[in-house]
Every structure is written in structure tokens, then in C-alpha cells.
Amino acid sequence: MNDQTVSRQTFDEVMVPCFSPAPFVPDRGEGSRVWDTAGRDYIDFACGIAVTSLGHAHPELLKVLHEQGSKLWHIGNGYTNEPVLRLAKKLESLSFADRAFFANSGAEANEAALKLARRVAFDRHGEQKAEIVSFTQSFHGRTFFTVSVGGQPKYSEGFGPIPQGIIHLPYNDIEAAKRAIGPQTCAVIVEPVQGEGGVIPADPDFLKALREACDAHGALLIFDEVQTGVGRTGTFYAYEDTGVTPDILTTAKALGNGFPIGAMLTTEALAAHFKVGVHGTTYGGNPLGAAIAHKVVELISDPAVLAGVRTRGEAIRAKLAALNERFDVFNEVRGKGLLIGAQLNARFAGRAKDFNAAAANHGVMMLIAGPDVLRFAPSLIMPEADLNEGFARLEKAFEDVAGAR
């Protein structure tokens, strides 16, 4: 077979089968539209799982890609580079942080955060203070450590003994957190909005209780903002709107708008525990990724863009309410900004994939968050015309699944 002739079937012939991709193959994108190899267009409400937050082929990002790509792609961490230093300064100016560590993904950022927390506890208190507190239905990545810390056992089962010293508590349960967090706790890791777990926002009082418990017992509070960060919820980082400041924050997904980059942000005092050789990365902080991410951060941190996130979020909620008025499919719509989850009611329990497939049939790319939740995470600058067209197509998809009413 000619190795240049490929199709969706080729995936089944050459790829490890840990994914089950859609039957069509996306070929190119512009803004909030994607075209497949057959030339059919789709409205993109998925953003590559909350990644392409400035849409596809953004002209200013393409300019940076070409400029930096012609200068220096990679140099390794035996050297520093100007783009990564500019990016670190920019992220620190927009957050509580004094120090940044760059990696390639959210999982690696979380791995660094968890390792740093354990190292800090070891240096300050000794090896007995090593317990990590996480929450049921949380998701923190697919490395063995992060998948074990994540609160969905299905992702860690079948891989042998999991790392010790990890406990999982109910999300938004203040009393359970107060009982569990103690002298043995080195860190608490929490998503301000659980993404994969169903798009469930944290109660601000719950986050405040975690902060107080960590302070009382000398534990570190880690906010996993891999999905909520970089403007997704309507502030640059979601913690800004909670009244709680973490000790460590992780960020990825939208940070590179599709170019792989993640970061762990923390304070000077905590960062000092990662001395030379204690942690590392080969590709993390490479000049090409850092230059692109700097432009992403510059564009998304614009107050007008962040205000637009909130406005678009309200527009999507209104359109979901109109769909529900007609089809009676949701019992709750929740989330923040442009991270929105629509929970299917009992009539359609377990059928999120059916809605997702029907949407694709009518030219809409969207996400699910478990078997019962439709997830919307479109571009933060999605044009109104595309948003309207996407929902006109979704109405036809809903007719297929829920029946005309």
C-alpha cells in the first residue's frame, strides 16, 4: 500500500487502540470551523479538549510560529532562552507566582507539582509527611502518578500496585476534608471546576476550607488549572474568582493553543526545594513552544477577551435552555465561562455519546464529560455567527436523538 494513502481505517491498522476516533478525519481549520478530508465543514465546540482557545490558524500565532521557527526550535535545558524567560515573567505578572517550571503537558505539570509538594514536605518535616489528598471524579493526567492521584479508578486499574499515600475524598464535602487533612498531609490537589468528572464547579466555601486546613497542617494547596486556566472560565486563572490563592498552580491545554506546553507555577520559597538535578525535562521550555505561548497569553489576558468569554458563556447557556425547552433532555447546566456541562436527564441517561455522534453527523464537533454530560469548550473568541450556526445544527442532531417535539 502507498504509505501516503491513509484513511480512518488506517488508524485501526497502525495505531495502538487506546483511542476510538470519530469516523471522519479533520484536515484543516480556521477560526471555529474545521474541514475534514472529504471537504465537509464542522463548527468546533470542542477546541481539541479546551486547547485551541484562540481558534485554528490564528494569524498572530502563525506569525510567531514562523518567526521563531526560523530562529531556534530547541536547545535543551543546559541553556536558557529568551522566549521562555519572557513567558515566565508574563505568567508571573498575571498570577501569584514568582517561579515557573515548563513541561510539555498538563500531566507533566501535575507530576512536577506533586513531586515538588512531596519534596517540600520531606525537606521541612521528614518522610512521614507524604500523604496526598485528592477528590473522587477528579482527573490530573495519564502518567502513573497522576492517574493514581486522579479520582477515577478505571484509569489506574490493571497497571499493578499504585503509588502509596494517596487518599480520595468527596468533592465539595467540607466536613470530609476537615476530618481527613492532618499532620500527615503534604498536599491537597483540586480542580476549581472538575472537567472530565462532569464539569462540576467547586463551592467557594469548599476551596476556602481546603486553604484553611492546609495552612493549619503545613500542607500545600495545588490548583489543577490545566483545563480551567488561560481564560477558560472568564478570568485568566480560575482561582482569581474564588477568594483562594493556591501554593502551586498547574496550567497547560490552552497555554500553547495546540502547541504542546504546560507549566507549574509556584512561589520562590517553594521553588527553592527543586535544586539542580532534582527534577527535569528535555523538551519543556523550548523556545518555539515558549514563544507561541507568550503570544497566546498576551492575547487571552486582554480584558476585552476575558469579558467576551463571560458574554459567550451566557449566550451558550441561553441556547441550551432553548434546546431544553423544546426537547426536555437536560436536568442541569453548570460550569463557568466557556467550560459548560449539560447533564442529561434520566430519560437519556448514559447517552452522551449518542448526542455527540449525532452532532458530528450534522457538522458539529463537541465533547462529553462522562456518559451523562455534554461538554462545551469552544474558542474564547468564537464569532457569533459560528455559535448560532453550531446551535442550528445541534437542533437537528437533537431531533435525531430525542425526536421532534
Among the candidates 248, 281, 300, a domain finishes at: 300
Specify the pLDDT at position 1: 46
Q: Is residue 64 part of a domain?
A: no
Q: What are the DSSP calls for 165-227, one per residue?
A: SEEEE-TT-HHHHHHH-STTEEEEEE-SEETTTTSEEPPHHHHHHHHHHHHHHTPEEEEE-TT
Specify the pLDDT at position 3: 65
Residues 281 and 336 in one domain: no
Q: Domain with 22 in it: what CATH number?
A: 3.90.1150.10
Among the candidates 300, 315, 346, a domain finishes at: 300
Q: Is residue 273 part of a domain?
A: yes
Per-residue CA distances from 249 to 152, 166, 193, 196, 311 (Å): 21, 19, 14, 18, 26
Instruction: Tell me the per-residue pLDDT of 357-399, one tens digit each, with 9 for 90 and over.
Output: 999 999 999 999 999 999 999 999 999 999 999 999 999 999 9
Q: Which residues are annotated as a binding site for pyridoxal 5'-phosphate?
A: 106-107, 139, 224-227, 282
User: Quick check: 189 and 222 in contact, CB under 8 A?
Assistant: yes
User: Quick check: 386 and 32 in contact, CB under 8 A?
Assistant: yes
Residues 263 and 220 in one domain: yes
Rounded to whole angstroms, how far apart are CA atoms 41 and 206? Answer: 43
Q: Which residues are catalytic?
A: 139, 224, 253
Q: Is residue 3 part of a domain?
A: no
Q: Is residue 166 part of a domain?
A: yes
* SS3 state of residue 290: helix
Specify the pLDDT at position 310: 97
Q: Which residues pair with 223 in a beta bridge?
A: 190, 249
Q: Which residues are annotated as a binding site for N(2)-acetyl-L-ornithine?
A: 142, 281
User: Quick check: 56 and 30 in contact, CB under 8 A?
Assistant: yes
Residues 216 and 354 in one domain: no
Q: Is residue 229 part of a domain?
A: yes
Residues 323 and 348 in one domain: yes
Specify the pLDDT at position 399: 97
Rounded to whole angstroms, how far apart are CA atoms 265 and 98? Answer: 8
Q: Is residue 1 part of a domain?
A: no
Residues 180 and 288 in one domain: yes
Residues 232 and 327 in one domain: no
Among the candidates 300, 334, 367, a domain finishes at: 300
Specify the pLDDT at position 4: 84
**DSSP H or E run through 66:** helix 59-69
Q: Is residue 2 part of a domain?
A: no
Residues 112 and 224 in one domain: yes
Q: Domain with 91 in it: what CATH number?
A: 3.40.640.10
Residue 344, classified by CB atoms within 10 Å of its CB into exposed (0-12), middle (13-18) or buried (19+), is buried
Q: Is residue 63 part of a domain?
A: no
Residues 330 and 209 in one domain: no
Residues 343 and 227 in one domain: no
Average pLDDT of the chain? 96
- The low-confidence residues of the chain, meaning pLDDT below 50, are 1
Number of domains in the chain: 2
Residues 314 and 275 in one domain: no
Rounded to whole angstroms, how far apart are CA atoms 237 and 239? Answer: 6
Specify the pLDDT at position 403: 85
Angle (nearest 5°) at CA 240 between 237 and 243: 145
Residues 221 and 318 in one domain: no
Residues 232 and 109 in one domain: yes
Tell me the residue range of the domain where 321 lies: 8-58+303-402
